[in-house]
Structure 1
């Protein structure tokens, strides 16, 4: 009888990203496989493609979710789209009580070795993804406000009542200041120049994140948000 490959241990955690990243300033995902930072070995200095802003919604839609259909997943980039500057990829698939990571690719530098196939216990794998999403200990105030803003805007529908749809919510951090940007545009209307708007919500370190989000949601619910927003070109 053929023996199954050994089971590896996955450990995930989000960290505060450098303030100069261009693609996203949501928390970066760090992952260890059997205690090894395999992505740093493959792509030294690479930027996580599985940032915290992609971990909303049902678990089956999370970046590292595993299903019976093999799925090629982008893991890192060079703070640029991988079609341009390369990155690292792996194919994720659930098979019976295992999750398999196979077909590793490094399009950033093909000279560097890639890991061998990795197998995880499926139940432990799912539990680790859920644990990482639930862990908020790494967050700075801007991360908490951005996370809660994303959730509350989706739940409240305050933009929709004025005929707007929220396009993106993302944190921005710089030396000594931080803000959350909310981009929105008309619902069910084709894109046109000047039809996208942004609210830049300054984040205070000494005010609870929940209170800051509630103030913004109440403001939008009370009046058309376009009146206090900036137009994007």
Structure 2
């Protein structure tokens, strides 16, 4: 452990964050106990391949996706937790818990239907393209289930700085549509990739209204360097810069065609960081 702590203070950023990751993961212990638990798992932060963050569901100590689906990882926290999809209502909702590495259309996905009946939340009608699909019902105390969902929604301790920046910017865009709306733009997605650890990425579409297929529209993207910067201050700077100046003048066009861009009066430049 002392070696890991020393490596976590290394001047090599990759070595330092990998050592810090091992220390943090070791502190979490093994499989969490509890009837229903959500654990966000961040993989080894080494910039190789395309590692993904997973929101792993554990029921009675058993990781659901690992037990029932061997074709791909659990869904991301953005998809499962922060989207509200795991929240249970009286209207049954089918939720995709995992998708195959290659895509659902190729090797399938794992689905479950979630509903609320009085004091209980029920997971039922499990579905995938793998052998052994079943309709086994799993029941949870609704109050305990809701507390775990709320805890997971509020827990951002797993984030790294670039991911925090992306989340904070996305929250501001949702809270105030005028930030981009004043430039006739609409928000896209905001995220950070582990393979590009020190950058946050955000996208937006132009024009703001969704156009018919045969009318021109483009997608813009911004890449923000986050290394050695305070995430909260960085997110605030990004939002303020977009309030003050048209982001179309600095962002790169990453979606749409050159012809479409020119019809919209935009100067097309081939993207360099996407």
Normalising TM by the smaller chain, what interval? 0.7 to 0.9
Runs ≥4 in structure 1, deviation > 6 angstroms? none
Maintained 8 Å contact 2:98/2:110 = yes
Kept in 1, the 8 Å contact 2:42–2:54? The answer is: yes
Whole-Å separation in 1 of the counterparts to 2:164 and 2:237: 15
Highest relative contact order (Cα 8 Å, sep 6+), 1 or 2? 1
Q: Which structure is higher in helix share? A: 2
Q: Which moved more, 1:174-183 or 1:158-167?
A: 174-183
Matching residue within 139, 156, 160 for 2:159: 139
Q: What CA distance in whole angstroms lies between the structure 1 residues aligned with 2:115 and 2:78?
A: 22
Larger mean CA deviation between 161-170 and 194-203 belongs to: 194-203
Tell me, what secondary structure is at the counterpart of 2:186?
Answer: strand
Normalised by the length of structure 1, the TM-score is 0.82
Offset, 1:149: 1.2
Unaligned runs of 5+ in 2: 1-33, 257-274
C-alpha distance in 2, partners of 1:115/1:52? 27
Confirm or deny that 1:162 pairs with 2:183. Answer: yes
Conserved 8 A contact 2:192-2:199: yes
Q: 1:184 to 1:170 in 2, by over 3 A?
A: farther
Distance of 1:168 and 1:115 partners within structure 2? 35
The 8 Å contact of residues 21 and 79 in structure 1, kept in 2 or not, is answered as no
Residue-by-residue CA offset, 1:130-149 (whole Å, 9 max, x unaligned):
00111122111122111111
Q: Does 1:30 align with 2:53?
A: no
Deviation for aligned residue 1:174: 1.5
Match of 1:3 in 2: none
Which of 179, 195, 208 matches 1:174? 195
- The answer on whether the counterparts of 2:74 and 2:97 sit within 8 Å (CA) in structure 1 is yes
Contact 1:166 1:185 in 2 (8 A): no
Q: Is residue 227 of structure 2 the alignment partner of residue 208 of structure 1?
A: no
Q: Distance in 2 between matches of 1:64 and 1:175?
A: 29
Which of the two has higher C-alpha Rg?
2
Does the C-alpha gap of structure 1 residues 53 and 183 become closer, same or farther in structure 2, counting only changes over 3 Å? farther
- Structure 1: where are the runs of 5+ without partners? 1-7
